[in-house]
Structure 1
Amino acid sequence: MKYLKQFVIILLVSFLGEILHYLIPLPVPASIYGILLMLLCLHFRVFAAEEVRETGIFLIEIMPVMFIPAAVGLMESWSVIKPSLLPYIIVIIVSTIIVMAVSGLVTQKIINNSKKSIKKGDSNS
């Protein structure tokens, strides 16, 4: 029963993300709205992380299985993809490098800011 309750909470937040996607005319996927709603609910303690932890872990563990339909769709579309394969590969490589670089820079900035705030806190004591 605990898992069913957790799953219903996650589905409810996802459904609210779908509603926001319908109501807000931005090119943002409904899943992003759902993730932001989940973040806000956890941050403002609408519900605790423990109330969705086990089901969330389960869903993350089975996530690779969810990519099978997408992979099958790619295989079925191979005749369309094949002529443009090189541009696809270039875009994938370039975008991956950009995401890695931006993620690394943001992480370094956060780490440096937290080190500065720790040092500032030590000097104030």
Structure 2
Amino acid sequence: MKYVFQFLRILACCFLGEVLRGLLPLPIPASIYGLALLLAALKAGLVRLEQVKETAGFLLAVFPLLFVPGAAGIMELGPVLAASWLPVALAVALVTVLVMAAAGRVTQAVSRRKAARHG
């Protein structure tokens, strides 16, 4: 029963994300709103980590399976991608480098802030 309540807490944040997406005129997906709401609730102490930890861990474990349909769909686009493989490859490489750089910068900033706080 514990897992049901944990899932309901996560689902509530997802639902509120959908509500925000409908109310706010910003081009932000509802899932991002939901994640931000869950993070805010965790940081504010409205939700404790123990109240979502096991279910969140399970969802993260099965997360890669959600990409299988997308990968299968891309395989059907083989002839289309073959015609424009160079721009696609360049875009994927550029975006990969940008994401890695952004993730590295954020990690460094968080590490510095944490070290300064505990220094």
Q: Structure 1-normalised TM-score?
A: 0.83
Whole-Å separation in 1 of the counterparts to 2:107 and 2:11:
31
Describe the shift of the 1:108–1:32 C-alpha distance in structure 2 as closer, same or farther (beyond 3 A).
same
Give 2:14's aligned residue: 14
Whole-Å separation in 2 of the counterparts to 1:112 and 1:44:
22
TM-aligned CA deviation for residue 93 of structure 1: 0.7
TM-aligned CA deviation for residue 27 of structure 1: 1.2
Q: CA RMSD in A?
A: 1.8
Unaligned runs of at least 5 residues, structure 2: none
Whole-Å separation in 2 of the counterparts to 1:118 and 1:6:
31
Give 1:4's aligned residue: 4
Give identity over the alignment, percent: 42
Give 2:45's aligned residue: 45
Aligned residue runs from structure 1 range 1-125, under 5 A: 1-115=1-115
Describe the shift of the 1:100–1:25 C-alpha distance in structure 2 as closer, same or farther (beyond 3 A).
same
Count how many residue pairs are aligned between Structure 1 and Structure 2.
119
Describe the shift of the 1:2–1:116 C-alpha distance in structure 2 as closer, same or farther (beyond 3 A).
closer
Describe the shift of the 1:116–1:65 C-alpha distance in structure 2 as closer, same or farther (beyond 3 A).
closer
| 1:34-58 alpha-carbon deviations (Å, 9 max, x no partner) | 1100101111111111000000000
Q: Structure 2-normalised TM-score?
A: 0.87
Point out the structure with max Rg over C-alpha: 1
